[in-house]
Structure 1
Amino acid sequence: MGLQKVGVERKLQLEELECLRLEAYDKARIYKERTKAVHDTHIKRPEFRVGNLVVLYNSRLKLLPRKLRSRWDGLYIVDKVEPYGVVHLRHLKLYHHTNPKSDKEVDIFFLKDPPKVCN
């Protein structure tokens, strides 16, 4: 009889432990939902207009380590804005023009003198 009583007692303890675990999961879920709701209220959604200059974030770039490669790519022009956050982009080619009048001669200084030739 004593062994059967201990078995029933153990089953009750396991059932109580299971109820406590499920209650903890529910409380954690509720906490996460509330935290997300507060966080989402502070997020400002970007509003893009046609003609805006933007850069594009590439989250899937994993070829090079983060230190060596920038994940931001751009410069793009917003071509078309559609509902639900869909934005069509047009690539902008940058043109670096050098003014020939402003080019200056550059003096080159070596840190070491060239070796002298002895005859």
Structure 2
Amino acid sequence: MSRRSQRGKMWATKLLNLDIRTAQEKRVMNLHELEEIRLEAYDNSRIYKEITKAFHDKKIRHKDLKAGDKVLLFNSKLRIFPGKLKSRWLGPFEIKEVLPYGAVTLLGKSKNEFTVNGQRVKKYMANESTEV
């Protein structure tokens, strides 16, 4: 490396780093800006999650199941071989007990009881006068 190019580099380095305090203040300002951008992104993410949750919760239909109600049970095994006009709903069954977290205990025709997920049942809407 020639002496002249070495002096040119030194001069450029001195010119760029002339005032270390100014460079330090600029760096601190950039760090504060970065922190503000990060906090704003965090707030935007939280707001987005709240809006998405509210939209999802609005679409959920709550089932008011009580002991003694008649329900139909969804037969998920018919998905493989459904049959042409075969219904996927079995029942009606009577609810014996509604357990926490959505589980339901059902009574079968022969009074045998079993527990299923509450999402697999729907209310049986038949007129009581038509049942035999």
TM-score normalised to structure 2 length: 0.43
TM-score normalised to structure 1 length: 0.47
Which has the higher Rg, Structure 1 or Structure 2?
Answer: 2
Q: Which has the higher strand share?
A: 2
Q: Which has the higher helix share?
A: 2
